[in-house]
Structure 1
Amino acid sequence: MTSIPSSDFLAVSPLLTVILLGMIVLMVDLFLPRDRKGILVGISAVGLLIAAGFSAALWGRGLTGFAGSVAADDFAVLFQIILLVVAFLSIFLSERYIQIKGINYGEYYALLLFSTSGAMLMATSRELITIFVGLEVLSIALYILAGFARTEARSEESAMKYFLLGAFSSGFFLYGIALLYGGTGTTRLDSMPSESLQSIYSIAGMALLLVGLGFKAAIVPFHSWTPDVYEGAPTSVTAFMSAGAKAGAFAALIRVAVAFLPISAYFHDVLWVLAVLTMIVGNIIAVQQTNIKRMLAYSSIAHAGYILVGLIAQNQDGRAGVVFYVLSYTFMNLGAFGILILLARRGDELTQIKDLEGLSQRQPLAAALMAIFMLSLAGIPPTAGFIGKFFLFQGAIEAHEIWLACIGLLASVIGVFYYLWVIARMFFKPATREFPANIWNSNPLASFAVIVCAFMSLALGLAPQIFSTPANSGAQSLLPPVTPIAAPAIPIAKADTPQVSANVR
């Protein structure tokens, strides 16, 4: 019986930590009364910090595991840390909110952790079956979380819509894997022969993979679930879903795109059209929304279009821009939903944009922080959103995608309108409702999470080198080393041989 090398477990140590943490939360929950579930927040937070430590320890080591099906390269490490940050902040935002909603069950935290582990597996995988497993772990937990407020019809409706459409998208993804296996003879992304990728089976398989991942990333025309699910799900779940699912989907999409560079010409025009439609449709429909969660849902769709611009560039700057933008989007989007969570009361949530009128008069700090998040989402300097868009469009221009960058800029201008409209309502309209008093002391964990999001939304804009340098390293780690054709060829082949044999069993 062959034993599994310890390096294999080391490569997936952050992922295993999160899975084990979810199991511990489930077991501890059995012994806690309904009013003591806050202990699970502390356990989850400590466990996520440990997982982040394991991820940081993998930086620069370039480990692979399980016959090369998973890779702990710098790209995977960065996305794992982003997903751990999403989970950490989402748990802090949820602690008080799920008590107010009457859904304070330990399974909530366990499902959130398991969903995070699925997204982490998608970011780490170099094998299509493994990516599919991660996609399903991410999705199934989110289906349950979307309907977690089971006494509310909207929540149940959102879960059902998400489940039905998600099941179809998973079927497309799985069928795409089957076609790719038929065309290339392997499901390993780094082992597919270039000549086999030219077959009709491989091209059709890649198209179906794009459908499956496009659903998770909310890319037009696979976006129809997004506004209904965002509106119906509990706000804390919506916050996690908007950042976590998108990060996992784009991490997998980038790995797939790099593997399929030999046939990228077949999909360039398709992705170009999808990016344009996603940016324009998301922003134009968001302008018409009166429900703030639906507005943020269509905003999320538009941001998926911006991220596609960096993916289409197919260069290091574009991929690094995607990594930077996903982190920036995490903070500004979680922060915006965090303000809604802080202002929620039992039986009374802010759902309409007009509900924020006069917020600056009653809760000036909350209005100021919400303004930061809206400006960052709009891409106004000196926020993280502006720098993130700059990196994405810079990558597109370097790839001679001038028209795509110009359309992205025009779409961003449309987006500025509805973000500034929210700010205008908060600062220049009289208050029409009462806001809960003392929101910062009554909900300290959510307050901490919102302040962290605001700080990072400004810090990444004022000092982007904090994360842009690691993002460039992560993008570089995706590309295989280039072997020179000229002499001396024999020494290079000898140096490369042990590395290849170590990754193939």
Structure 2
Amino acid sequence: MMDTAIVSWTAFEPILPEMFLVCIALAIIGFDLFAGKQREQLIPWITVLGGLIVLGMVAGEKYGQAFDGMFITDGYASFFKVVCMIGVIMAALMSEHFRRSEALPLGEYNSLMVLSAVGMLIMASAGDLMVLYLGLELMALSVYCLVGLHHGDPKTGEAAMKYFLMGGFASAILLYGMSLVYGLTGTTNIAKIAQLSSSGQLLTNPALMAGLGMMIAAFCFKVAIAPFHFWTPDVYEGAPTPVTAFMSVGPKAAGFAVFGRVLVSGFPQFHDSWGTLLSVLALLTMAIGNITALSQVSIKRMLAYSAIAHAGYALLGVLCGTPEGLSSTMSYLLIYAFMNMGAFAILILMSSPDNHRETLDDFKGLAKTNPAAAFMMMIFMFSLTGIPPTAGFMGKFYLLKSALAAGYTMTVIGAVIFSSISAYFYLRVVRYMYMSDPEHEVAINFTPGISVVLGLSLLGVIGLGLFPGSMIAQAAGALLGQ
């Protein structure tokens, strides 16, 4: 009896980080209900502490499989889990500052964010289509609620409803695609699908290709790849700013984790087909994201279109279908987490109860009134553009190098052109801050949480730009199981 109990508990060891996060979410809900007036100040720090513990648990995970291969713990999953948890920790730190200027319920905000993180971690470790779908829906349902959490803004309700309806439609397409794949292969295990679909009959079966196409379309929706990106600008603009920042990092990283796992591990024999499709979608995404951002006067909406464009860049590594390509995507998503979170942190820093200050005019002369905030925003804009020696440049360099090595020359040329176009709207923010006179005084209060986020973001953007080798080595080692 003793041995049986030990074996049963050991079987749950691979999902300990996910189980711990569920406990953290429940603890936050209970603390919010029963604690005193100090709860609003402590709740974000509970999330941060829990996130740091999970990072330690992920770093110490033993690689292997659980539940008959349905759940995989390997370097690939661990790397994406780290990126997702960085997004959670930073979004929690930003929420305390945002609460001072907006009526954001911190208990619901943090608990929903932690529950969405559970879904993201499950997605990263999914070795089975059903586990993947379970994680995706847990993440999606939590994020739907997060988007609609700010009841005082009518845009928030509209954004949440639009995201929910379109997200539900994408989930239905994904489930239908999975059902086709299951019907033809007789399994939902990703590794077994790769073995079975390589046979002569299935290799040319149009129904299997249709199922794979539906799954790709649903994944494209989750990471805002054109032409499945239409929800992104309105949802990003309408959601509370910390939620927008979190959505642009955590769910996007989890979506790309699934992209790589399913396509590269489950359907490698179809690489010629899905690689060509993704190269076209990547070019379309970069074109729409960068060109549409040129006309935006709202920085928050500009960053939404920027997120679309950067999804196109990250897709360059996936379409290669090689370890080098996947490691470049993994590295880029880590870099993107730091530079994008930093930019959104500046937006939150500028906000006040009566003025969100999200337009270009609000940033006029910021270098004269708040030189520290202007300098940090300039660094983040440089990194998003891809200007050396920031991390954004190194991230794009490795992506382009991987795509070029895989033979996607025209796609690389297009990426360089569209990246050059992006310099206009990113550097326009810098021009407004440094070359315009301030129209009004902006009072900025560096609270502990927002200061930590900005410090970590600067460290990541500059450190990974000057010393990118360690990051690339970690990503490559994660793929090789080292």
Match of 2:219 in 1: 213
Match of 1:152 in 2: 153
The whole-number CA distance in structure 1 between the counterparts of 2:26 and 2:68 is 27
The whole-number CA distance in structure 2 between the counterparts of 1:46 and 1:177 is 37
Contact 1:360 1:426 in 2 (8 A): yes
Match of 1:355 in 2: 362
Residue 62 of structure 1 and its aligned partner are, at CA, apart by 2.2
Match of 1:452 in 2: 456
The whole-number CA distance in structure 2 between the counterparts of 1:295 and 1:62 is 40
Residue 292 of structure 1 and its aligned partner are, at CA, apart by 0.8
Structure 2 residue 374 is the aligned partner of structure 1 residue 370: no
Residue 133 of structure 1 and its aligned partner are, at CA, apart by 0.9
Match of 2:64 in 1: 63
Task: Name the TM-score, length of structure 2 as normaliser.
Answer: 0.95
Contact 1:7 1:65 in 2 (8 A): no
Contact 1:19 1:117 in 2 (8 A): yes
Match of 2:52 in 1: 49
The whole-number CA distance in structure 2 between the counterparts of 1:98 and 1:184 is 50
Residue 244 of structure 1 and its aligned partner are, at CA, apart by 0.9
> How large is the Cα RMSD of the aligned pairs?
1.5
SS of residue matched to 2:438 = coil
Residue 235 of structure 1 and its aligned partner are, at CA, apart by 0.4
SS of residue matched to 1:207 = helix
Contact 2:390 2:466 in 1 (8 A): yes
The whole-number CA distance in structure 1 between the counterparts of 2:256 and 2:396 is 16
The whole-number CA distance in structure 1 between the counterparts of 2:204 and 2:192 is 14
Amino acid at match of 2:17: P
> Number of residues paired by the alignment?
473
The whole-number CA distance in structure 2 between the counterparts of 1:5 and 1:472 is 33
Match of 1:241 in 2: 247
Structure 2 residue 9 is the aligned partner of structure 1 residue 14: no
The whole-number CA distance in structure 2 between the counterparts of 1:284 and 1:34 is 48
State the identity %.
37
Amino acid at match of 1:237: V
Gaps of 5+ in 2: none
Structure 2 residue 296 is the aligned partner of structure 1 residue 293: no
Residue 33 of structure 1 and its aligned partner are, at CA, apart by 4.1
The whole-number CA distance in structure 1 between the counterparts of 2:273 and 2:324 is 22
Residue 354 of structure 1 and its aligned partner are, at CA, apart by 1.7
Task: Name the TM-score, length of structure 1 as normaliser.
Answer: 0.91
The whole-number CA distance in structure 2 between the counterparts of 1:356 and 1:35 is 34
The whole-number CA distance in structure 2 between the counterparts of 1:216 and 1:11 is 26
SS of residue matched to 1:171 = helix
Residue 32 of structure 1 and its aligned partner are, at CA, apart by 2.3
Structure 2 residue 472 is the aligned partner of structure 1 residue 471: no
The whole-number CA distance in structure 1 between the counterparts of 2:222 and 2:185 is 25
User: Which deviates further from its counterpart, 103-112 or 250-259?
Assistant: 103-112
Amino acid at match of 1:20: C
Contact 1:95 1:445 in 2 (8 A): yes
Residue 107 of structure 1 and its aligned partner are, at CA, apart by 1.2
Residue 6 of structure 1 and its aligned partner are, at CA, apart by 3.7
**Structure-to-structure mapping, 1:134-145, within 5 angstroms:** 134-145=135-146
Note the alpha carbon deviations across 1:203-248, whole angstroms, 9 max, x for none: 1111111111111100000000000001110001000001111101
Gaps of 5+ in 1: 479-505
SS of residue matched to 1:323 = helix
Residue 433 of structure 1 and its aligned partner are, at CA, apart by 2.1
Amino acid at match of 1:188: N
Amino acid at match of 2:117: T
Residue 160 of structure 1 and its aligned partner are, at CA, apart by 0.7
Contact 1:247 1:326 in 2 (8 A): yes
Amino acid at match of 1:46: L
The whole-number CA distance in structure 2 between the counterparts of 1:189 and 1:271 is 20
